Chains A and B, each alone.
Chain A
Amino acid sequence: MSSITGDLDYALELFRDMQRENLSYIYRGIFSQKITDNILSLAEGNLTNVGESSTVKKRVFSIMVEGLQNITRHQDENLINEKDRTGIFVIQRKGDNYFITTGNLIDKNHITKLTGQLNKINSLEKDELKKYYKEVLNETEISKKGGAGLGLIEMARKSGNKLAFDFTEVTDTYSFFYLHLEISRSKDDARKDTDKEVNESLKSIKGLHKILNKENILLIFNGIFNQDSLINLLTIIEGHMSTKINLRKRVFNIMVEMLQNIVKHAGKGTVESGNPGIFFISEKNNLYLLNTGNYVLNSKVEELRKKIDYVNELNETDLNNFYNKSLFNFEIDSSKESGLGLIEIRLKSQNKLKYTISKVDEQFSFFALQTGVN
């Protein structure tokens, strides 16, 4: 058995940043219909689970729909290869605001027109925007791409704020187009300027995007884990992976076990909604790194440490024997536990499990687990 080359320190750093920023959810990749549907239900479920009001939920949801449509519309262009079609979708909650960012490649020839549209939208007041929407709706024949900027106007109206945007050159022909929106959770009629704060926040997303590209991170989810979000996450990753069946299945296996661990064992959650945690997955040269982070009770830390250290020390034969023994151990057999999850993760990954446990307060510690599969 080999040891993985992944960098857990980097993972932990990301965890810490996301915790601080309260960053919610990032997907980077191809946006198929199925993946898009699951991204939406994952985000919708999460909004419900954190107890968001239905008004805010509706606004966030409709902006997400428009934003995702923007991405899917543009990824169909005849771009060089799959990797270049990789779009990004980010939803964050920071304090009293939600931020939604979409990013996709566009033909450089479209930049001038798009910039004009966005500036026009940003120059209008609320009532003018409504009028402009009707104007555009009446005048323009809807093109194949469904566009004429109606989606952008709609997003601006729903968010109640101006649209922040930016372009980054990718090749001679293509640029990456970022669109960044702020949605206030408190009802506020006046439209805010794309002020320094929003531009700063877009800048930080661009920085993050660079890291995601470098590490080839496919998905980050920082939210509430329950059976529904587990199924959504699995479907997204299943739809994303084009590798051969055995690797795909092993990644799937391990992912289910890791996520179920959060659903069943993590602390700080509620029975009704689920447990808070973080999951992210990256892939480099067919090595998949799966990471989870969640709270555990300080009183459970020693037992957890012992369990992981124990399975880490076993060789493949002993691991298999231990698995079989645990399979028939019906003293551990309840709705909570089968006693097999960690052994399976270790067996399937064929790598040692990397983990850290750091004390957060008198009651909880933060448990980060990384599994490499290749």
Chain B
Amino acid sequence: MKPLVLEKEQAGHWLKGLCNNFDIFAPLPTDKGYSDWQKWDGGDLFDVAKGVPKSSIKTFFFPQPEVLFQFNARASAPDAFRLREPKCQDKPRILFGVRPCDARSVVLNSMPYEEDPYFQKRIQETFIVGFLCREGCSTCFCKWTGGSPTGTEGMDVAAIDLGQVLYVEILSDKGKRLVGNGFFRSPTKDEETEAKDFVEKAKGQALDQDVASILRSKGLMHLYDAPFWNSVSEPCINCGTCTFLCPTCYCFDIQDETLRGKGRRIRYWDSCMFPLFTQHASGHNPRGDKLKRVRNRFMHKLKYFPDRFGPISCVGCGRCVRDCPVNIDIRQVLRSLLEI
């Protein structure tokens, strides 16, 4: 489809028109100084800060928690303890202002979740309006992971902020459904040139190595037995900050909860950094040491996942780099793995 242009002053009207059928979320400022995903209340949207918001968009596809089933937990009821799939009441969602790294994370997570009906349903019901990056933060490293500041993987609509207008490309049938109302026009020649310039400049030089294929070609145990894991993991405090902020950490636990006769089976975020993640009922723990857990997180992202699916399970958003309490920096680990 041909690119379109939306005058920024029309954008609010366009989105308000979509509010009847969609819930719209965007990275909005919080009282804590960072921006984070919040439901849009009709305010000014176009101050999408550079870089990524605090949380990733995985919460929209992999909510904390996802109710897998509901059941009647009163033993006397005729349908006692029968699992029922919950009826989802949520409206379809628009995520507005998604950065290329976060959009790409959905594509990567879809690989292990290919046959997961809950995840796939949420993908179908979530519309991603991406914003390409003019400039990154010092912690951004999307190119190393196979992405790009101007990548559009995973987006339904890709927007380029040209100052007065948004230059918009429609990338999927879902995207078409969003721009179907008359706020858009065709771009002028100048706008086309400007958009091209934006992409050329922002994209920059291509990386001269294919990180994923280099890592795939290295021996599993060669990387696993690398000498640096102890020093990498030594400062780790075993919290879940990296895994919970990470857009491509997707591990979960499943648990049943009952309260006053109502029961539900939920899945919720779990972290391979937690010792209990792998602990058997017998007490035996295959990854009882911090070193093994830290190594597993990086090996999963940078070796196990690419061995299985191709790309590395990291989009270079830099959240873990910024917010790790003890500054364990995945960029350094990646470099070490490439070098060894």
A and B: bona fide binding partners: no
Chain B residues close to A by CB (< 8 Å): none
